[in-house]
Structure 1
Amino acid sequence: MHTFWIGLTGLVCLSMSHAQAQQTVSASHVQRHRLRASVAPPNVPGPQAPGLSLVDLTPIAPLGPCAPAGAWPWDAEYTPDGAYLYVSLFGGYQGSGGCTVLKLNALTLAPVARLHVGESPEEIVFTLDTGGAVSEMYVTSSSASSVTIFDSSDQVVATVPIPERPGGVFGTAFPFGLAVAPDQATVWVGTGEGRVFAIDVATHSVDLARTLDLGADCGFGRIAFVGNRLALTKTTYHANWMGSTASLVLIDPAVPAAAQEVLLATSPTSALYPSPQDLALDPSGSLYVAGFDMGPQVYVVDPLSATVSATWNTYTQPTAGKFQ
């Protein structure tokens, strides 16, 4: 069966039984480390397979001058060949964030390398060559307002600045979600201030002419391609900070005017701020979305009809849904 595990920053579909899952993971561990899971390729059994293996990253000191006391893992991604697992160590928010992506041996989970990036690294994606191997790795650094690009040998080849809106006061656009276009020619990056930028893979630069601007009153969580369309987890903040609306936007970057928006949850008061943070695509094409203040449930979205096809109760507390 497929079991969905939801941590504070992650939603992933695993092929295992409930009994297997209960033997290998605890909710307190997932919540303490905020680690988003990545599904291992089928040829990688893992040291405790079948099931999940847990790695305590707390003792691993982040690299660089902005190293905080705790690691605070954010994203974890396997390479396509299953040889390595890369984990971004977010560390903390602006002014106290980490600067490290940790490379682990996928079989032993032993650290192989510590890669230096900008402050508060979050999302990790890979572009692939024609043979399906890693060409480059892209990492968003939220507090540094940049994307660091590594080659297949883990060497930095570029640091791409992500522009803040004119008049911004934070010094960063808070880049977060990354998505690689199906043709591998563009990497899209969503920000916390309502814009999605296109990074040209050939030039390692932002193509400002292709920017998608959905408004300064919103921000994005994780993003992904569904066919030729981008799926954007969107939070729209209401006037005077009186709550927010959570939605999923489906947009073809080539035809942005034809975008569709799926309403998920809303709040008219400052007590709750519904905010979708993570999404996962299953083999059938359905999208699964979870986030903050959206209730103890996962939303299942049919991208073809742009509708919520189901909601799955997670039976978690608090009932407002304080998880991603």
Structure 2
Amino acid sequence: MKPIFAAALTAFPSLLPAQDFSHDLSLSGIGTPAAANPFGLAFEHSTNRLYVAVAGTLSDSNNHVAVFDAATDTLLRTFQVGLYPEDIAFSYDAAGNLAWGAVTNSSSGSVTVWDASDDVVAEISLPDPLGLGTCFPFGIATGGPGFFVSTIDGTGDIHAIDLTSMDYHPTAGITAPLAAAGRLKVSHDSVWVPTTRYTPSWEGSEGGLATIPIGATTPATDIACVVKDGQWIYPNGQDVEILSDGRAILGGTAFFGQLFVFSPDGELDRAFRVPDAGDSHGLAVSPDETLLAICDLAGNRVILFDLVAEKQLAVIGLGGLGRGYSMPNDAVFAHDKLYVSCQGNEEIVVFNNLPTTGSKPGFAGSLDLSSTTPTLNQPITATVCNLTGGMAALLSAHDNVAGSYAGVPVHIGPAPVLQSWGMGSSIRTFRIPTTATWRGRTFHLQGGVQDISGIWQTTAPKTVILQ
């Protein structure tokens, strides 16, 4: 007997008005005669300062950090760091006061550290095990003896900076088989690292996320989210944001409009579809965690995603704004404004009148999976529970574009398939084939539960990626 969804759910929230382009912050002339193109951004809340890594270009590297008053957007000062500075982080004392700031210098293979007065105290060189002239340090996060620093030289090294000795710490870092690492974060005593591994043929790569407990050398979780080989397409894990409830959101290049959501223990939970985000080079979460800004560097646009209603809100093409901007790299929220670094220009663009978000989806019941990242030939069991004891059903789809089943809107589709049904619960076990080409395939599951009045509602969806 096939269950019939008797009534439709509330329609998905409509798109809300987009934010306004306000102005730009010019970096022209900083570090003259070098180009003054920005890379990473960071907002330091206790001093109300916006820090900008002024990287220049690959052929014309800059070596400065610019500091702005985030309330008035006026330039306060600049100071010299290493060549091609990229990402910025801060460290605080036991009382919560700003103690140190630091920036990774990609071309110099170093990290520059400054104090709370923005006076540089050290430039710390990092190892160059491959003899490339630099290990290409990229992301930086507070943790361990001071800071952890990711690299993109292919070694998988995550270096540690000791803020007591103001030096490289040779044993506190992490070496894991990550190949290349993105903008990392530290949470729950673990380092969360966006990863990129190139395939043996070098005709593709795997982009994903690893969590490594501080002090360990082996990842606790290591998940490939997007896998491409033989197509000359190269998915890269680029940036991860950690929410206050411990969940993580991963973005990357060649992720094809997907953001991946992880539980606090580093396990894959689900994927958000962002239709107009081909790439997610940089991510930023608003202070109230209702908005997510996505920098699509190759697409030359910024996307605002509603973290409450779980859908895309606005697409901002940068080429037609102000002076015409390009290559959004990084973003940060501060003072009800959104700042975006434009790597193709010498400006930071500023948006205000940010949109309000919609309503949280009215999920009901539960959907539990024995694994969301099964290996080939591993069984996976999906269980839908209806707490009211009514009918429960399990649906599956190959995509997470919004669809419908029997007239009821669902988050997977566009044409979901009924896999099982039952009273009170519905259980289905799948066996993953051993076919090697299935690695990286993605499936989306969602449950349906019928309440005591006969109205059907859906569970929160789940995503399965074969490892």
Cα 1:300–1:213 shift into 2, 3 Å: same
Counterpart residue type for residue 123 of structure 1: D
Work out which of the residue numbers 316, 319, 322 in structure 1 matches 2:276: 316
Q: Is the contact between residue 125 and residue 180 of structure 1 (CA under 8 Å) also seen in structure 2? A: yes
Q: How does 1:190-229 map to 2 (within 5 A)?
A: 190-193=150-153, 194-215=156-177, 218-229=179-190
- What is residue 29 of structure 1 aligned with on the other side? none
Q: How does 1:30-179 map to 2 (within 5 A)?
A: 54-57=23-26, 60-63=28-31, 67-68=34-35, 71-93=36-58, 95-165=59-129, 167-168=130-131, 170-179=132-141
Q: Is the contact between residue 80 and residue 133 of structure 1 (CA under 8 Å) also seen in structure 2? A: no
Counterpart residue type for residue 144 of structure 1: S
Shift of 1:265: 0.6
Q: Is the contact between residue 176 and residue 219 of structure 2 (CA under 8 Å) also seen in structure 1? A: no
Cα 1:205–1:101 shift into 2, 3 Å: same
> Structure 2 unaligned runs (5+)?
1-13, 281-295, 300-328, 330-467
Q: Distance in 2 between matches of 1:147 and 1:64?
A: 22
Which of 1 and 2 has greater Rg?
A: 2
Shift of 1:92: 1.9
Q: Is the contact between residue 210 and residue 219 of structure 2 (CA under 8 Å) also seen in structure 1? A: no
Work out which of the residue numbers 186, 197, 203 in structure 1 matches 2:146: 186
Structure of greater relative contact order (alpha carbons < 8 Å, 6+ residues apart): 2
Q: Is the contact between residue 150 and residue 156 of structure 1 (CA under 8 Å) also seen in structure 2? A: yes
User: 2:230 matched to 1:230?
Assistant: no
Q: Is the contact between residue 250 and residue 303 of structure 1 (CA under 8 Å) also seen in structure 2? A: no
Cα 1:243–1:208 shift into 2, 3 Å: same
Q: Is the contact between residue 299 and residue 310 of structure 1 (CA under 8 Å) also seen in structure 2? A: yes
Q: Distance in 2 between matches of 1:202 and 1:300?
A: 35
Shift of 1:156: 1.0
Q: Is the contact between residue 174 and residue 216 of structure 2 (CA under 8 Å) also seen in structure 1? A: no
Counterpart residue type for residue 235 of structure 1: T
Q: Distance in 2 between matches of 1:317 and 1:84?
A: 29
Q: What's the secondary structure of 2:50's corresponding residue?
A: strand
Shift of 1:303: 3.3
Q: Is the contact between residue 80 and residue 134 of structure 1 (CA under 8 Å) also seen in structure 2? A: no
Q: What's the secondary structure of 1:209's corresponding residue?
A: strand
Root mean square deviation, CA, Å: 2.3
Moved over 6 A (4+): none
Residue identity over aligned pairs, in percent, reads 26
Counterpart residue type for residue 132 of structure 1: G
Q: Distance in 2 between matches of 1:259 and 1:282?
A: 20
- What is residue 31 of structure 1 aligned with on the other side? none
Counterpart residue type for residue 194 of structure 2: T
The one-character-per-residue Cα deviations of 1:124-169 (angstroms, maximum 9, x if unpaired) are: 111112221211111001111000000111111000001111x43x
Report the number of matched residues: 269
TM-score, length of structure 2 as denominator length: 0.54
Q: Distance in 1 between matches of 2:103 and 2:268?
A: 31
- What is residue 320 of structure 2 aligned with on the other side? none
Shift of 1:312: 1.2
Q: Distance in 2 between matches of 1:270 and 1:101?
A: 39
Shift of 1:56: 3.6
- What is residue 242 of structure 2 aligned with on the other side? 281
Q: Is the contact between residue 148 and residue 173 of structure 2 (CA under 8 Å) also seen in structure 1? A: no
Q: How does 1:239-278 map to 2 (within 5 A)?
A: 239-257=200-218, 259-278=220-239
Shift of 1:317: 5.8
Q: What's the secondary structure of 1:98's corresponding residue?
A: strand
User: 2:13 matched to 1:24?
Assistant: no
Q: Distance in 1 between matches of 2:116 and 2:258?
A: 38
Q: Distance in 1 between matches of 2:258 and 2:182?
A: 17
Q: Is the contact between residue 187 and residue 198 of structure 1 (CA under 8 Å) also seen in structure 2? A: yes
Q: Distance in 2 between matches of 1:303 and 1:249?
A: 12
Q: Distance in 2 between matches of 1:101 and 1:277?
A: 22
Q: Distance in 2 between matches of 1:103 and 1:310?
A: 38
Q: Distance in 2 between matches of 1:252 and 1:319?
A: 28
Q: Distance in 1 between matches of 2:279 and 2:45?
A: 37
Shift of 1:80: 2.5
Higher helix share: 1
